[in-house]
Amino acid sequence: MKDKGIRINICMGTGGIAAGGAQVMEAFKKELRKAGIKASVGKRCTMHKVGCRGLCAKDVLVDVVKDGNKFTYQFIQADMVPRIVQQHLIENNPVSEWLVGEDYHNFHNKQVKVVLSDCGNIDPEDIEAYIKVKGYEALKTVLKKLTPEKTIEIIKKSGLRGRGGAGFPTGTKWEICRGVEAEQKYIICNADEGDPGAFMDRSVIEGNPHAVIEGMTIGAYAIGADIGYVYIRAEYPLAVERLKLALKQARKKKLLGKNILGTKFSFDIKIKLGAGAFVCGEETALIASIEGERGMPRAKPPFPVHSGLWGKPTVINNVETLANVPYIIRNGDKWFSSYGTEKSKGTKVFALTGKVKNSGLIEVPMGITLKEIIYDIGGGIENDKALKAVQTGGPSGGCIPAGMVDIKVDYESLAQVGSIVGSGGMIVLDEDDCMVNVAKYFLQFTQAESCGKCVPCRIGTKRLLEILDRITKGNGKETDIELLEKLGNDVKSASLCGLGQTAPNPVLSTIKYFRHEYEAHLKGKCPAGVCKDLLTYYILEEFCKGCGACMRACPAGAITGERKKPHKIDPEICIKCGACFEVCKFKAVGKE
């Protein structure tokens, strides 16, 4: 049998590997050899490892392309491979029951992929694969046809804003730095992604590291830098490994180093591993870390574009911002600005997580509504429960109530309702989530990650957390809600850096939209039944079969009763662990 026209793509992002992608790849190699189909992993091969495909919940995802016809399989394990090879590749009869369904296609229908356009389609460990999809063409255009000023002008006209959270115009930042006279300048790629539930930057580097390198090199040319740093957390070993390989390949191709592509422009990139401190996502703390100092922010001005790394003019852009650059240069500023809204141009990558059916990595045009993201792309709420809120912007963002899901997702619209776009975290919450507890969860994170340099953040977040903790334990005071509001606003206005300035957002937004839940907690009730100190467990006699399962599970001995007769829970002894509720098969244990 001839193997002409056969291509197999296997998801080997973090999600794909965790689901067994490496084993699936080995199984394909074995079965293809047995079938006499020549295949290898590498250049001009029929089998490729690719990065994140987006819908990580269906990994391992495998594409089989035969004679121009593409079929995508989901949940593939190594023991399923022999049938795919025999039935699909040899007998030309796809295994229909293993193919992705309508939900997979719906997940992608409303997405517009720029940054993710090549992720999941090319081998991230093969520079030739990137070059085949016009990779590094933008760099060639810039170095051989455009001046730094013209390059900056294109980025400015595109409307690209920083995708790391603040949304500052990228071209303007480059222009300011370009205008500062200095013998040495730097460009830094901020890959210190630390938001709970966020995996945008990691997935981009894992799936297409060369796009980031190319964008960074173009940025360096524009501002006049010859050295760049990628600041990436050591907790991303796969991303680090693929980035190192990509840098090595780029240098070999003369796309990095001295006299790039035969021009007078020289530039190289170094990798700096971060230790996982969330505050190092703040640009001045990141700079301090690269310099070997403790990662703590400093007051601004001066801004890094004037005095950054080692006191030299420095541009800092995040992964997604830089990955946009090659596509903008290649396709034009008007092409990019045709997506999005008047003030928020282009697309945005989000990590869609939480109580949504189709969780994963998405890229959507700015201006799309939350409703479209949750229901059209995300497939709706898990178990068909009611949507309660959406947390955007990570631990520094706000909680947007279900009644506002028609809001547009862009910088201005989200800011108006007390949230932010942030780096791209988006967590969906349902009727079973307690908003007071959600606020407490995010504040625990930001309080623990505070560097402690300034008093408002160090002490203010601690006091906020103490108040929330006592409210969730039933010890709240009547004045606590007003105290949270006042203290939260004080922390926002007086903190030194963005961490402290945004840390109160989850608290303030939940009070604004879910004040009734705070008031219920002050009266000793958690409406969602989450805060265990406010719960009361009881047995519904009409459902109790007297099986004894709850009694055996109770660690405190709070449940009594005879076999085949209704049991009882002693509230004085009950430690509210919920073990009885979990083990009861007859739904005879209630809680309120």
Instruction: Look up residue 195 and give its DSSP letter.
Output: S
Q: What is the pLDDT of residue 219?
A: 98
* CATH superfamily of the 134-337 domain: NADH-ubiquinone oxidoreductase 51kDa subunit (3.40.50.11540)
Contact 376, 110 (CB under 8 A): yes
What mean pLDDT value characterizes the chain?
93
pLDDT at res. 253? 96
435-522 belongs to CATH 1.10.10.2160 = no
| Alpha carbon distance 211, 118 (integer Å) | 9
Q: What is the DSSP letter of 381?
A: B
Residue 223 in contact with residue 185, Cβ under 8 Å? yes
Q: Are strands 69-73 and 62-66 parallel, antiparallel or unpaired?
A: antiparallel
Which of the pair, 592 or 86, is modelled with greater confidence? 86
Q: pLDDT tens, 209-225?
A: 999 999 999 999 999 99
**Mean pLDDT value of segment 66-92:** 93
- Give the residue with greater pLDDT, 473 vs 45: 473
Per-residue pLDDT, averaged over 577-585, amounts to 93
d(CA 523, CA 436): 14
The C-alpha atoms of residue 396 and residue 394 are separated, in whole angstroms, by 5
Q: Where are the beta strands (DSSP E) in 39-81?
A: 47-50, 62-66, 69-73
Q: Are strands 6-11 and 62-66 parallel, antiparallel or unpaired?
A: antiparallel
pLDDT over 60 at 1, yes or no = no
Looking at the predicted structure, is the pLDDT value of residue 282 above 50? yes
Range 488-506 average pLDDT:
94
| Ranges of each domain in the chain | 6-103, 134-337, 347-430, 435-522, 535-591
535-591 has which fold? Alpha-Beta Plaits (3.30.70)
In the predicted structure, residue 4 carries a pLDDT above the cut 80: no
pLDDT-derived band of residue 20, with 50, 70 and 90 as boundaries?
A: very high
Which tens digits make up the pLDDT trace of 372-394? 999 999 999 999 999 999 999 88
* 177-207 pLDDT per residue, tens: 999 999 999 999 999 988 887 889 999 999 9
The SS3 call for residue 85 is helix
Q: Are 87 and 94 in contact (CB under 8 A)?
A: yes
Tell me: pLDDT of 43 over 60.
Answer: no
Torsions phi, psi for 169 (to 5 deg)? -55, 120
What does the pLDDT read at residue 39?
61
Question: Residue 591: its pLDDT value, please?
Answer: 86
Residue 299: exposure state from Cβ atoms within 10 A (0-12, 13-18, ≥19): exposed
Tell me the three-class secondary structure of 508-521, residue by residue: HHHHHHHHHHHHHH
Return the pLDDT at 67.
82
Q: What is the pLDDT of residue 195?
A: 82
Q: According to the model, what pLDDT value does residue 394 have?
A: 83
Q: Residue 2 pLDDT > 80, yes or no?
A: no
The CATH class given to the 6-103 domain equals alpha beta
Predicted confidence (pLDDT) at residue 438 exceeds the cutoff of 90: yes
Q: SS3 letters for 474-504?
A: CCCCCCHHHHHHHHHHHHHHHCCCHHHHHCC
* 561-570 mean pLDDT: 94
In this structure, which amino acid lies at residue 55? L
pLDDT band per the 50, 70, 90 thresholds, residue 5: confident
- The region of weakest confidence among 39-43, 329-333, 420-424, 499-503 is 39-43
Sign of the alpha-carbon dihedral angle for 443, 448, 450, 452: positive
Distance (Å, rounded) from C-alpha 443 to C-alpha 457?
Answer: 11
Average of per-residue pLDDT across 232-244: 95
Alpha helices by DSSP H, 311-393: 319-331, 333-337, 370-371
With beta carbons less than 8 A apart as the criterion, state whether 389 and 401 touch. yes
- pTM listed for this prediction: 0.92
- Cβ contacts of 339 within 8 Å, gap of 6 or more: 112, 114, 345, 346, 347, 365, 366
- Residue-wise DSSP of 560-571: E--TTS--EE-T
**Mean pLDDT within 347-374:** 96
Say if residue 6's pLDDT is above 90: no
| pLDDT for 422 | 84
Six-digit token string for 126: 């093969």
- Are 30 and 84 in contact by the 8 Å Cβ rule? The answer is no
C-alpha 382/C-alpha 28 separation (Å) is 34
Is CATH 1.10.10.10 the right assignment for the domain spanning 347-430? no
Look at residues 78, 54, 79, 74 and name the one whose alpha carbon lies nearest to residue 63: 74
Residue tagged 């680090």 (tokens):
240
pLDDT given for residue 3 in this prediction: 43
- What's the rounded mean pLDDT across residues 286-307? 95
Q: What is the pLDDT of residues 509-541, one digit of tens each?
A: 999 999 999 999 999 999 998 998 899 999 999
302: Cβ contacts below 8 Å, ≥ 6 apart:
none
| Residues above pLDDT 90, as percent of the chain | 87
E strands present in 369-414:
387-392, 398-401
137-145 helix and 319-331 helix, angle to the nearest 10 degrees: 70
The residue-averaged pLDDT of 343-354 equals 95
Query: How many degrees, rounded to 5, is the angle at CA 409 between CA 404 and CA 415?
Result: 80
Two structure tokens written together for 513: 């939209």
